[in-house]
C-alpha cells in the first residue's frame, strides 16, 4: 500500500519511524537506538554521498529505503532532533499553542538523499520559572485528534510520565499551561548515585505493595516534610528490617511519584480555586502509566485514562495542518 507520510519521533535516546498511509494509518514502524545523544559515528555514505553527519546516517537507516521506494514522500519529525543539540534548531513556540501554530513554525531541513524533513518546534511557557517541552506537544495534540470531535474544546489534563514528567492543560484545543517534574531522572540518579542504592536489590518484578506504601507515605502527614527528607526512609525502613532490599526500589519510586502528585494536586486546587481534581489522560509506556495510574487513584484524581498512538496521530495532524498531506 502506498504511504502518504513518514513520521519520526526522534528523542534523546531513541528514534521511532512510522510509514503512514491514508488517514494516518500505520503501515509499518521501526525503532532504532539512534537518539540525538547516540547517533552513528565514523561516517558513511548516503545516496552516493560520503558524509560524517550522524543525523544523515541515522535518517538514512530509519527511512532511506522507504524514500527510495517512494521518492518525494514528505517527512516530519518531532522531539529533541529540533533542540540546540539536534539536527537543526526549531525555536520554541510560546503557549498558548495549537496545531496551527506548531505546523506554521516547522523548520525544513534538506537532506543529502533529497528529501525535505520538517521539524516540529517545542513549546515554551514564559512563566516566572520558564518551562519547555519537545515531543510531548506533538503527543498531546495527537491525543486531541483521538477524542470525539464534540469534546475537543473541553478542558483536559494530560500527564506524560518519563524522565521529566509533563502535566499539560488543554483548553479549547490549545496547550495553555504545563508543569515539569524531574521525578524519573532524580529517581534514577538517587538509585545509582546515592547511599539509597547501596541497600537496594534491583531487578525484581514490580512490587505493587512497596510502591503503594511509598505513595501512601508521601500523601500522609509523614510526607509533609517533603521529598528531600522522606527519601531517607527508604534507607531507615531497611535498617530497621521493615523494608527488604528487593522492595526498596519500588518503595522509592512510589514515594517520589506520590510527592509529585501531592504537589501537583495542591497547585491545581489553588489555581482552579476548587477542591475538585480534574480527570487525567496519561500518555506513556505501559509500565510507567500503571504506576501513575495507581498513584493518581490514591491521590484522589477522579478518572484516569491511557491514550495510545498519540505521537503518530500528532505528527499526522501537524502534517495535515501544514499541507504536507491531505485527507
Q: Find the shortest distance in angstroms from Cβ 180 to a copy of itself.
A: 5
Q: Are 135 and 178 in contact (CB under 8 A)?
A: no
239 binds a copy of itself (CB under 8 A): yes
147 binds a copy of itself (CB under 8 A): no
| Residue choice 16, 259, 293, 313 for contact with a copy of itself (CB under 8 A) | 259
Kindly tell me which of 179 and 250 has the beta carbon lying closer to a copy of itself.
179
Kindly tell me which of 113 and 280 has the beta carbon lying closer to a copy of itself.
280
Q: Residues 105-140, buried b or exposed e (16+ Cβ, 10 A)?
A: bbbebebbbebebbbbbbbbbeeeeeebbbbbbbbb
Work out the number of other CB atoms within 10 angstroms of the CB of residue 53: 17
226 binds a copy of itself (CB under 8 A): yes
Cell of 214: 511509598
179 binds a copy of itself (CB under 8 A): yes
Kindly tell me which of 53 and 131 has the beta carbon lying closer to a copy of itself.
131
273 binds a copy of itself (CB under 8 A): no
| Residue choice 33, 171, 172, 192 for contact with a copy of itself (CB under 8 A) | 192
Cell of 67: 524514500
Q: Which residues, 6 or more positions from 169, have their beta carbon under 8 angstroms from its beta carbon?
A: 155, 156, 157, 158, 175, 176, 177, 178
142 binds a copy of itself (CB under 8 A): no
276 binds a copy of itself (CB under 8 A): no
195 binds a copy of itself (CB under 8 A): yes
Kindly tell me which of 5 and 140 has the beta carbon lying closer to a copy of itself.
140
201 binds a copy of itself (CB under 8 A): no
User: For 110, phi and psi rounded to 5 degrees?
Assistant: -85, 120
217 binds a copy of itself (CB under 8 A): yes
Per CB under 8 A, the segment of 138-146, 217-225, 282-290, 295-303 that binds a copy of itself is 217-225
Q: Give the closest residue to 134 by CA, choosing from 105, 171, 100, 173.
A: 105
Give the interface size with a copy of itself as a residue count (CB under 8 A). Answer: 48
Cell of 200: 537496594
237 binds a copy of itself (CB under 8 A): yes
The burial class, CB within 10 Å (0-12 / 13-18 / 19+), for 164 is: middle
Report the distance separating Cα 55 and Cα 76, nearest Å. Answer: 14
Cell of 244: 527488604
The 3-state DSSP class for residue 233 equals: helix
Kindly tell me which of 65 and 266 has the beta carbon lying closer to a copy of itself.
266
The burial class, CB within 10 Å (0-12 / 13-18 / 19+), for 213 is: buried
Report the distance separating Cα 217 and Cα 226, nearest Å. Answer: 10
Site mask for a copy of itself (CB under 8 A), range 54-93, x = bound: ----------------------------------------
Residues of this chain that bind a copy of itself (CB under 8 A): 124, 126, 128-132, 164, 179-183, 185-186, 188-190, 192-195, 217, 222, 224-233, 236-237, 239-240, 242, 256, 259-260, 262-264, 266-267, 270
Amino acid at each position: 500500500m502506498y504511504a502518504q507520510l513518514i513520521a519520526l519521533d526522534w528523542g534523546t535516546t531513541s528514534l521511532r519511524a512510522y510509514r503512514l498511509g491514508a488517514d494516518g494509518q500505520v503501515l509499518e514502524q521501526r525503532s532504532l537506538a539512534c537518539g540525538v545523544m547516540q547517533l552513528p559515528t565514523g561516517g558513511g555514505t548516503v545516496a552516493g554521498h560520503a558524509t560524517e553527519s550522524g543525523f544523515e546516517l541515522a535518517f538514512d537507516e530509519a527511512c532511506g529505503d522507504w524514500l527510495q521506494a517512494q521518492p518525494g514522500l514528505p517527512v516530519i519529525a518531532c522531539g529533541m532532533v529540533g533542540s540546540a543539540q539536534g539536527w537543526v534548531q526549531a525555536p520554541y513556540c510560546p503557549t498558548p499553542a495549537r496545531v496551527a501554530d506548531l505546523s506554521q513554525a516547522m523548520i525544513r531541513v534538506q537532506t543529502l538523499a533529497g528529501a525535505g524533513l520538517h521539524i516540529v518546534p517545542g513549546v515554551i511557557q514564559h512563566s516566572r520559572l520558564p518551562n519547555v517541552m519537545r515531543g510531548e506537544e506533538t503527543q498531546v495534540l495527537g491525543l486531541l485528534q483521538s477524542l470525539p470531535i464534540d469534546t475537543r474544546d473541553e478542558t483536559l489534563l494530560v500527564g506524560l510520565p518519563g524522565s521529566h514528567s509533563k502535566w499539560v492543560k488543554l483548553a479549547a484545543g490549545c496547550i495553555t499551561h504545563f508543569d515539569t517534574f524531574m521525578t524519573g531522572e532524580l529517581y534514577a540518579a538517587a538509585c545509582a548515585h546515592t547511599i539509597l542504592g547501596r541497600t537496594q536489590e534491583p531487578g525484581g518484578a514490580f512490587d505493587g505493595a512497596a510502591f503503594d506504601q511509598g505513595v501512601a507515605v508521601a500523601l500522609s502527614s509523614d510526607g509533609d516534610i517533603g521529598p528531600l527528607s522522606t527519601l531517607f526512609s527508604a534507607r531507615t525502613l531497611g535498617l530497621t528490617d521493615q523494608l527488604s532490599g528487593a522492595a526498596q526500589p519500588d518503595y522509592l519510586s512510589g514515594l517520589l511519584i506520590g510527592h509529585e502528585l501531592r504537589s501537583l494536586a495542591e497547585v491545581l486546587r489553588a489555581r482552579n480555586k476548587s477542591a475538585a481534581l480534574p480527570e487525567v489522560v496519561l500518555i506513556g509506556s505501559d509500565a510507567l502509566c500503571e504506576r501513575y495510574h495507581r498513584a493518581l487513584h490514591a491521590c484522589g484524581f477522579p478518572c484516569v485514562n491511557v491514550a495510545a498512538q498519540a505521537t503518530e496521530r500528532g505528527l499526522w495532524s501537524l502534517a495535515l495542518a501544514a499541507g504536507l498531506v491531505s485527507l
